[in-house]
Chain A
Amino acid sequence: MIDIALKDFRAKKGRAAMCIVGVMACVLLIGTVNLVLYEMESGLEGDLGTVHGKLYFEKNGTGFPPSGSIISENLGNEVMNRSEVNPDKSTKALFMPIQNDNFSGYTMIVGLTPGREETFIENVKNVTVEGKGSLVGESDNSVIIGSQVAENFNATVGSTITVSNHKYKVIGIIKQIGTGWPLTIDNSIVMQLSHAQSVMEMPNLISTVIIVPQESIDVAEIDLQNAYPSYSIYSQNDTRKTLEDNLSQIKIFFNMISAFIFAVSVILIMIVMMMSVKEKTKEIGTMRAIGTRKRSILALIIYESLILSLIGGIIGIILMSPTYNMLGLLMGAKEVNFLSFYIPTPILIQILMIVFIIGTFSGLLPAYIATRISPIHALRYE
């Protein structure tokens, strides 16, 4: 029956094209929406991934990034000396956001102990640094900057940037890791803690201690929390919560859009298939008259809608990457490779499932109606 379904399309090209375009549009829309969501999620993971495997000791109620927290350096030293804390890897850190005049958004000054840059930069995602990744042995005003900062200040390794009337020498640039939200690695200027304190005029003050635990992270978290009940210990569990809080609304909204588009395309194909069945009443009746079983009629119509939606789906998938890139271009991305074809596997699987479901669902009712066609009625049908 598949060959017959295919021959039917050749005879009715316009209708087939309409279905194909419908599914294609659906796949394109749902796919792009999901791709945006996926990129956002993965970007946020990058932004918050720096917390992975570490604890941030900070003033109660601060969260991440810890820029709203101010504690004394003495308290920081006390925490650094605790047995739960690995003193060779942990670091006191000062986070200070700076509003910029010549572009929207913030830049985050991050001061930390030279040699402990990894503690902040290390991420669930792979981090690569162009130039130097360590401030050890460099001049006071040396900085390692995030990709977004490099872009905003048009900086390259070795160049000098001026931020709030202070000059800094760029010795390293961290490749893009997140979305730039909310003021994390991509927007950071990493420098020596002492230099950050003097530039910010905050002597003996820090925001947080970034703790690499000696042993179990969970035990360290509980112990520290018990020891300092009026401070908070921010961990990767809190990260996940932050991530979910930030995404859940958007996710619900995007899924609603997807569901709507899905419903529209199911209904569209269903209507077209109904029209097709109605139009083919005489043919289907003839088939039934000469002994075609109901089951075969059912299969014929479902094959038709399935094949149409598969073709539409495949075209949609092929066009998804260029569309997404185009969207990126419209939203201000600087370089876009239209030839790149990138769809994450989970999204590809999801799309294929959607296409399959559209094909089957939209075919079911028309197919059922087709099996109900009475041959006698169809033979009289003009």
Chain B
Amino acid sequence: MKDLVKGQELWKTYKLDSTEVHALRGLNITVDEGEFVSIMGPSGSGKSTLLNMIGGLDTPTKGKLYIGGKETSSMKDKELTKMRAKDIGFIFQTFNLLPALSVLDNVEFPMRNLTNGEKLDKSSRIQRAEECVDIVGLTPRIKYLPAKLSGGERQRVAIARALVNNPKFILADEPTGNLDSEATANIINLLHEVNDQGTTVIMVTHDLDTAKDTKVMKIRDGVIES
């Protein structure tokens, strides 16, 4: 499929008391299958807002957004939740691992969110989770709790978690924002590897270096500049 993500005239307006904040102002975006897109732009320009919308966490105030050909603004919470579980892998700036769960359990967790026909049995889930932990090179840490891992290692766990359900695309909001340059390089390499395997990646970043070899989209004041 060509247009994995297609946004037309997207508006997002927040009402704060009497004033209105326009986070997106008629933004248009198209992401094709297999692309690695970097969204860049100044703070407050609407990058996270856009990414959340693509991730089915938020809906546009105005405009139409199609994910995999399906219009999302009319979807109910239940459908959006299902879409997030099945089609999307999330990576956050603050890692957001579940602190009570081991590396393996964290990676296995999203597979529990699949429903009926798609849900694997426990042993297949563990096997798949081990595979993904191996991909990010953390097999020696598989029993660790997140608190015992470095930032870079945590983000690798998050990547494994994002991959585990074979999503159509991965959304990463400043995935290296809390990491040093070495860990950053490592994470970006991993994302490129994932992209090489055919998974679409949409990443928000401030750093031109990390956006190297990706399709850069610049956003300013809620619209895409280039």
Complex contact A375–B113 (CB within 8 A): no
**Residues of chain B lying within 8 A (CB to CB) of residue A1:** 112
In the bound assembly, the distance between CA atoms of A310 and B26 in angstroms comes to: 54
Contacts A282-B96, A376-B58, A379-B92; is A292 near B101 (CB within 8 Å)? no
**Residues of chain B lying within 8 A (CB to CB) of residue A288:** 81
A86 at the interface (CB under 8 A from B): no
Complex contact A376–B78 (CB within 8 A): no
Complex contact B84–A291 (CB within 8 A): yes
B113's partner among A12, A293, A376 (CB-CB below 8 A) is: A293
Who on chain A is nearest to B77 by CB?
A294
In the bound assembly, the distance between CA atoms of A379 and B82 in angstroms comes to: 19
In the bound assembly, the distance between CA atoms of A4 and B98 in angstroms comes to: 10
Who on chain B is nearest to A282 by CB?
B96
Chain A residues with a Cβ closer than 8 Å to the other chain, count: 22
In the bound assembly, the distance between CA atoms of A303 and B96 in angstroms comes to: 23
Who on chain B is nearest to A379 by CB?
B92
Chain B residues with a Cβ closer than 8 Å to the other chain, count: 27
In the bound assembly, the distance between CA atoms of A290 and B113 in angstroms comes to: 8
CB proximity of B20 to chain A, nearest CB, Å: 18
In the bound assembly, the distance between CA atoms of A286 and B98 in angstroms comes to: 8
Contacts A282-B96, A290-B113, A290-B161; is A376 near B57 (CB within 8 Å)? yes
Complex contact A290–B99 (CB within 8 A): no
Complex contact A291–B77 (CB within 8 A): no
B55 at the interface (CB under 8 A from A): yes
Complex contact A10–B90 (CB within 8 A): no
B110 at the interface (CB under 8 A from A): yes
A151 at the interface (CB under 8 A from B): no
In the bound assembly, the distance between CA atoms of A11 and B90 in angstroms comes to: 24
B90's partner among A4, A8, A290 (CB-CB below 8 A) is: A290
The contact string, 1 if C-beta is below 8 Å from chain A, for chain B 94-113, is 00101111000100011011
B85 at the interface (CB under 8 A from A): yes
B residues adjacent to A (C-beta < 8 A): 52, 55, 57-58, 77-78, 81-86, 88, 90, 92, 96, 98-101, 105, 109-110, 112-113, 115, 161
Pick the 5 closest A-B CB pairs, nearest first. Answer: A291-B85, A11-B100, A291-B84, A291-B113, A286-B96
Q: Please name 8 pairs of A and B residues whose Cβ atoms are closer than 8 Å in the assembled complex, sorted by A.
A: A10-B100, A11-B99, A289-B96, A290-B84, A290-B90, A291-B113, A296-B112, A379-B57
A residues adjacent to B (C-beta < 8 A): 1, 4, 7-8, 10-12, 282-283, 286-294, 296, 375-376, 379
